[in-house]
Amino acid sequence: MESSITIGKQSITTEEYLAPGHRACLGCGEALAVRLACKVLGRDVIIVTATGCIEIISSQLPYTSWKVPWIHTLFENTAAVASGIEAGIKALSRKGKYSKRTKVVAMAGDGATADIGLQALSGALERGHELIYICYDNEAYMNTGIQRSSATPFGASTTTSPAGKVSIGQTTWKKNVPAIAAAHDIPYVATACPSYPFDLMNKVEKAAKIDGPAYIHILSVCPTGWRTPTDTTISLGRLAIRTGIFPLYEIENGKYKLNVDPPQLRPVEDYIKLQGRFRHLSSETIADIQDRVNAEYAKLKKKVTGDC
């Protein structure tokens, strides 16, 4: 029988479905996010994971950190495999051979979501499969050498968008995948970060109750790729939200809601200056980033108030 602890008004299971002993880097925000999500999802779940950090750290032969049914698949077809499992469960249920309401959950990084697997994700959302897709966004292909993805923020230095005399690093702005998911008119889209653990768990719980597809995009601080101290993961995540760089919001049946809305956003420099991947940026470039953040946050606020 599972035990739980109560923190504030929230009861949390002490059971760990992503077992300790995995090989995540110290301070890995992604591993923390998976752990929190799995606490909400419980045992009656089938998880499909793309190639990436989570797969590598959790499945070193002959061991596994997964205490629930888990399948590893490729970068490009995570949502497709999850869709097939969900369809199979429905077929068995119609034949009376399966009575449980097992939840199917796809988990992938930003590379497998925003880049290589975007077509499979779009197909799964368009077809209306009853599944949760969770993107753990550490803003680059961290496991294969810190290469840029389309989720890498403007100005960040990576191994394939290096900063130097003729380049500031990444030259495009971060792709807005939650907006792409929302454009499919699915019932639930949300952003989250393990620096706000109760917000993250509440959103996973909501997604699990949805009839139809749900998409959650989780910012996952990566000390290795971001060039940050391992003990700053939580504070960096909070700064991403409080500067407006990564707002926490949800879209339920088309209606936007801001979950954390500071009275005044902190300067983006407070966030940027703590990360080695941005250490080359000039004050002019940081000002450009500030202008972009201000504009995007203002657009989001208009969606929340219905003024757009």
Determine if the peptide bond prior to 153 is cis (ω within 30°): no
pLDDT in tens, 19-35: 988 999 999 999 999 99
3 CB burial (10 A radius; 0-12, 13-18, 19+): exposed
Tell me: pLDDT of 151 over 80. yes
Tell me: pLDDT of 308 over 70. no
Residue 149's alpha-carbon distances to 24, 118, 245, 258, in angstroms, are 20, 12, 17, 26
| Percent over 70 (pLDDT), the chain | 99
Tell me: pLDDT of 102 over 70. yes
Tell me: pLDDT of 270 over 90. yes
CA 298 to chain centroid: 22
Tell me: pLDDT of 1 over 70. no
The DSSP annotation for 113-170 comes to IIITTHHHHHHHHHHT-SEEEEEEE-SSBTTTT-B--TTSPTT---SSS-BSSS-BS-
Please give the average per-residue pLDDT across 80-104, as a whole number: 90
Q: Which pTM value belongs to this model?
A: 0.96
Closest CA to 17 of 109, 137, 82, 107: 107
pLDDT in tens, 184-222: 999 999 999 999 999 999 999 999 999 999 999 999 999
14-305 is classed in which CATH architecture? 3-Layer(aba) Sandwich (3.40)
Strand bridging mode 4-7 / 10-13: antiparallel
| pLDDT given at position 10 | 79
Tell me: pLDDT of 7 over 80. no
